[in-house]
Amino acid sequence: MFVDTHCHLTSASLTGRLPELLRRAADAGVTRFIVPGVGAAEWDELFALCDRWRTIYPAPGIHPFRADSCDDEALYRLEQHSVSAVAIGEIGLDYSCALSRSLQQHAFRSQLHVALGHGLPVIVHCRKAFADALSILREAQVWRVGGVMHAFSGSPEIAAECVGLGLTIGVAGPVTFENAIRPVEVVRRTPLASLLLETDAPDLTPSPHRGSCNEPAFLIHIARKVAAIKGISIKEVAEVTTNTAVSLFRLS
């Protein structure tokens, strides 16, 4: 059995056909789902979804693209929701975004403070900002709660730094792409116990389904690729990554 540790089931392209998607996921062995929030406006919908489906777990947060909405009211609501959350996410830095770096860093630090205060792991979005993100994570002592570097796009050396801070590495669809080099090397050089599997549905669709809408059932293709890179069975990938996810997010 697998855990999809990052899928946006509140996305309009997925939520309208959720029963069908969850059935297909179950057929592929994907039975539990971590759903991050990207903005305060969707948190109520996220928790309503988790109340309806007991295999779906909430991780409210404010994406760096929406850092300008991380005000006192949003942080208060995040504090309230943290009581029922399994993580805070997705939060972080994305320097491809038009929002200022200082604004993103403030939102990142503020949400890390909430996570640490509630003993919750963090789901970290990081793009073109690894030096600053690692500095902030180190400053926050993120190892006290742990977390995952979502859809990790850095080098094997940066992955090792993240693992040294008590973080896991999220492996998503790009590892299956025909021209994948860096993601493959990251998987090869990172201990299996420090890897988590995620689809980021509806985005980052893995091969052989590229060009179509991503969904949790496609996690099996990522798992098969990890097994091939590591030279181990898919059963071992399932057991180890699921144990890591259950431990990190304290899943029932």
Instruction: Note down the domain range covering 94.
Output: 2-249
Compute the half-sphere exposure of residue 222: CA atoms within 13 Å on the CB side of its CA. 35
**Residue keyed to tokens 């697998």:** 2
Using pLDDT thresholds of 50, 70 and 90, give the confidence band for residue 63: very high
- The two tokens of residue 200 are 């980021």
Q: Which helix (H) or strand (E) holds 239?
A: helix 234-249
Residue 201, domain CATH: 3.20.20.140
- The two tokens of residue 29 are 């062995």
27-52, pLDDT tens digit by residue? 999 999 999 999 999 999 999 999 99
6-27, pLDDT tens digit by residue? 999 999 999 999 999 999 999 9
Number of domains the chain is built from:
1
Letter for the amino acid at 63? H
134-170, pLDDT tens digit by residue? 999 999 999 999 999 999 999 999 999 999 999 999 9
Letter for the amino acid at 190? T
70-128, pLDDT tens digit by residue? 999 999 999 999 999 999 999 999 999 999 999 999 999 999 999 999 999 999 999 99
Question: What is the per-residue pLDDT for 99?
Answer: 96
Burial (CB count within 10 angstroms: exposed 0-12, middle 13-18, buried 19+), residue 93: buried
Give CA torsion, residues 196, 202, 208, 210, to 10 deg.
Answer: -130
Distance CA 198, CA 184 (A): 15
- The two tokens of residue 131 are 């030096």
159-198: b (≥16 Cβ within 10 Å) or e: bbbbbebbbbbbbbbbbbeeebeebbebbeebebebbbbb
Checking if the pLDDT of 252 tops 90, the result is no
Strand partners, 168: 148
Burial (CB count within 10 angstroms: exposed 0-12, middle 13-18, buried 19+), residue 23: exposed
Contact between 227 and 99 (Cβ < 8 Å):
no
215-243, pLDDT tens digit by residue? 999 999 999 999 999 999 999 999 999 99
The pairing of strands 2-4 and 30-36 is: parallel
Checking if the pLDDT of 213 tops 90, the result is yes
